[in-house]
Amino acid sequence: MRVYFDNAASTPIRDEVGQFLKSGNAEGFYNPSSVHQEGQRSRAQISKARELISEILECQTENILFTSSGTEACNYIISHAIQTYKIKNVLYLETEHSAVIETVQSTDINKVKCQLTPDGVINLAEFENRLRSLSGKTLVCVMFINNETGILQPIEDISKICKKYEALFFSDMIQALGKMDVRQAVAYVDFASFASHKIGGLHGVGLAYMRNSQPVYKQVFGGEQEFGRKAGTENVIGISAFQIALEACVSKMDSEHANNLKLHKKLVDGVKKISKNIIIPALDSEKDASISTLIFPGLKSENIIIGLDIEGIAVSAGAACSSGKIGGSHVLRALKYSESDANSAIRVSFGWHNYPEQVDFFLKTLDNTLQGMNFNF
């Protein structure tokens, strides 16, 4: 038996996408920039996907840009905002994904970290004070759902403050798509990023939403694809699969959310029974039920992950994009956990395909694994 609890890193392909890939509809994709009939059929597939996705997000088709990943979408948005709108300051959270943090840190503009509560929620009063004190145009970067703790940020409240001081607002919504209705959240922001492989689509497709489609900003040169914003032949099959996965997860969102709540409660209750010394960050704040971090003081993350993997369970130590980096989770360090605790954490993240018996198996296996590691119960 294999149990996959690393859905925040990447999800399996949804059945609807699998059926599409096996059907004749996934055959015969050509270069969508070609003028012949084959090329124009591929162009029509991209247009169809763009229209359906824009309907779901309730925006205009020209307001979305297909990218090669969520990481590229984040990079594009930040660079676009800085270059196009003459940004002088960037306010961001230390708990953002590295795609945001490293892009911000690569710039030579004024960078300001926003204060967080112990659970990782933005301190709105301090945020407004910081924003009020700055001169020049400001970009605010706040992730909607944190990819390690599942904490939710108050997007509407942040948006109101940004508008008050005429700041631009970018939210990485990659973990939120399919787990909650993002249409309202998108209406609150100027920019948002998404990724196909987090919702059961294929790897290699991301999406950048921009409230204003003009002016055009380009990072990659050599063609006029994506309304002149991004050169390069589009990933036609990947974009089509993204549309299919998004339609599927939106239609099943209520039932999948209810399932995640059930799994999360079973997980938390079970972990507490195993040991009171296991720490679950952000448990007392509003968070998404599909993502939880567990800290095992005194143990090493990699040892727990390998031990569970041998027994048939896939979990992670946090963002897969940061694997191989020294120093443990930057999210946990930002929440003032010690370096030791940051290196003692695993992330458990559920998907639509998981069910309660798998959590039971995980809890039993975890208990046995910890006993074998002489964990301080």
**In this predicted structure, which of 54-58, 148-152, 224-228, 352-356 has the lowest mean pLDDT?**
224-228
User: In the chain, how many domains are there?
Assistant: 2
| 222 and 119 inside one domain | yes
Q: Which of 194, 218, 250 is the last residue of a domain?
A: 250
Is residue 377, in this structure, part of any structural domain at all?
no
| 265 and 239 inside one domain | no
What are the residues facing 170 on neighbouring strands? 141, 191
pLDDT of residue 284: 87
**Cβ neighbours of residue 255 closer than 8 Å, sequence gap 6 or more:** none
Instruction: Decide: helix, strand or coil at residue 342.
Output: helix
| Cβ–Cβ under 8 Å, residues 303 and 369 | no
Q: Which of 222, 250, 278 is the last residue of a domain?
A: 250
Amino acid at 312: G
| 261 and 237 inside one domain | no
| 163 and 273 inside one domain | no
Instruction: For residues 310 and 230, give the distance between their C-alpha atoms in angstroms, rounded to a whole number.
Output: 43
| 352 and 310 inside one domain | yes
The enclosing H or E element of 101 equals helix 98-105
Each residue of 11-33: pLDDT tens digit? Answer: 999 999 999 999 877 667 899 98
Instruction: For residues 120 and 140, give the distance between their C-alpha atoms in angstroms, rounded to a whole number.
Output: 16
Q: Which of 273, 271, 334 is nearest to 304 (CA)?
A: 271
Each residue of 263-308: pLDDT tens digit? Answer: 999 999 999 999 999 999 999 899 999 999 999 999 999 999 999 9
Q: Is 157 exposed, middle or buried (0-12, 13-18, 19+ CB in 10 A)?
A: middle
Arithmetic mean of pLDDT over the chain: 94
| 201 and 322 inside one domain | no
Kindly state the tokens that stand for 250. Answer: 């939106």
Confidence of residue 227 (pLDDT cuts 50, 70, 90): confident
| 221 and 110 inside one domain | yes
Q: Which of 183, 216, 250 is the last residue of a domain?
A: 250
DSSP structure class, residue 212: -
Cα-based torsion angle of the residue sequence 211, 212, 217, 219 in order, rounded to the nearest 10 degrees: 10
Instruction: For residues 8 and 21, give the distance between their C-alpha atoms in angstroms, rounded to a whole number.
Output: 23
Write out the residue range of the structural domain in which residue 175 sits: 15-250
pLDDT of residue 185: 94
